Structure 1
Amino acid sequence: MTEALSMNQIIHAAVRRDVDRTERALRQLADGDLARARQVRGAWRNLVRELTHHHEAEDSIAWPFLASRGFDTTLLTAMEEEHVAMKQALTASSAAIDAVVASPTTVAAAAAADAVARAREVINAHLAHEEADVEGVMGALEDDPAWKAEARKMRPASIVDAANALAWMQDGAGERERSSLRATIPGPVVTLLTLLLARRYRRDVAPVWR
């Protein structure tokens, strides 16, 4: 039986998936298709929002906790520096996608796709580094009451934000990610949250990838 993924790994899978989908959509954008350009920008902004929340929570909560437990601060500093590099890459990609909306040409779309491809290199390198060197440590703390309390602080601020995050993680996910998510959060809860509360994602983002 395949080992279940952690919530951290499920989030990472969603990030990788949407970076790939965004680049592909930009490369396929028809000249003058402003409506599609706006759709892609909306989906990209959703990805940036989810990824930013995830990494700001790690910087402000996860890394300080690990440092307090004597974890290698050199590695934690590297994680923070990689987050800064990712933020810069996301900002550059966002500006390039905004330029496509301003002028939806195939030339602008190709330039934006190239920016997203460069961002993917930075993002994937960090995600792989974190999974290789930090994931195991966080997994070992799974039953630690103090860590559980800190992990709860890393969740979205509202139930609506949580629902939209769940919808995002599931949209286009493979069976391993879906089954791992069901194992982490009871199926009926996931269904209720995504069907009743994930309105923003269903309205603004999900149609982009249909």
Structure 2
Amino acid sequence: MNTTTSSGPALIDVHDMVVVHRAFRREFRILAELLRAVPAGDLARAAVVAEHARLALAGLSLHHGSEDDLLWPLLLERAAPSAELIGRMEAQHGEAESLITRIEPALARWEAEARPAAGEEVAVLMGELATTLLAHLDEEERSVLPLAARCLTQEEWASIGQAGVAKMTKAELPIMFGMVMEDATPEERRALLGGLPLPVRLLLRTWGARAYRRYVSRVRDGR
């Protein structure tokens, strides 16, 4: 929702970013646990966990890419004092991508053999990524979102999220959306769904919701 201050124009609503961040915090915390829990040699279970890891990593890369392409340029143009902050945000994105580049081949090696030692290597890297990511998300929410709320229009803000969604496959969309919605409050769910076209909204509420429940049960519980 928009708010107006006594000294300035209405602020746009950027809370959807907080909801997305909540999903990343949860998934990257859980991933290290899932990796370590796979029994030695269980290739079927390793494939499920590896698939989920790749989906979470792809979602993070899409999220960061939309910010790099669309958000930082607007903030640098309209909030010049934030240049140092934006440089730090870009550097943190670079650290995360560097870790993802290291995780991907390690994940492939583990998936092929399901050796505990290889799984531990990936889990440690995931832990490093989670630590880097949590610090980044905290600073972004503390320092970047207030700038965006003041400097962008609601349409410009919406385009940043839409850019990431547009790059998802039809199979990825309900799962990614389900991840974001999982810990959302009823008010947050209504706001997130409200910005979508009616056919997409209906699809995500019905088939998409069921698909996510099946997916998350398979990933976390092995069922």
What TM-score results when the alignment is normalised by the length of structure 2?
A: 0.77
Q: CA-to-partner distance for each residue in 1:92-149, whole Å, 9 max, x for gaps?
A: 222222121122112211221111111111111111111111011223356x256346
Tell me, yes or no, if the aligned pair for 1:37 and 1:104 is still in contact at 8 Å: yes
Tell me, yes or no, if the aligned pair for 2:14 and 2:157 is still in contact at 8 Å: no
Change (3 A) 1:82 1:149: same
Change (3 A) 1:206 1:53: farther
Change (3 A) 1:185 1:146: closer
Unaligned segments of structure 1, at least 5 residues: none
Query: Greater CA radius of gyration, 1 or 2?
Result: 2
What TM-score results when the alignment is normalised by the length of structure 1?
A: 0.82
1:13 is matched with 22
- Aligned letter for 1:174? D
1:97 is matched with 107
1:166 is matched with 177
Distance 1:41 1:145 in 2: 36
Count of residues in Structure 1 that have an aligned counterpart in Structure 2:
203
- Does 2:63 align with 1:54? yes
Distance 1:204 1:149 in 2: 27
1:182 is matched with 190
Distance 2:154 2:24 in 1: 28
Unaligned segments of structure 2, at least 5 residues: 1-12
Tell me, yes or no, if the aligned pair for 1:48 and 1:90 is still in contact at 8 Å: yes
1:81 is matched with 91
Tell me, yes or no, if the aligned pair for 1:26 and 1:109 is still in contact at 8 Å: yes
Q: Which moved more, 1:188-197 or 1:61-70?
A: 188-197
Tell me, yes or no, if the aligned pair for 2:75 and 2:151 is still in contact at 8 Å: no
Distance 2:77 2:139 in 1: 21
Distance 1:152 1:94 in 2: 25
Change (3 A) 1:124 1:51: same
Tell me, yes or no, if the aligned pair for 2:23 and 2:183 is still in contact at 8 Å: no
Please provide the CA RMSD for this pair: 3.0
Q: Which moved more, 1:193-202 or 1:112-121?
A: 193-202
Distance 1:109 1:145 in 2: 43
- Does 2:27 align with 1:27? no
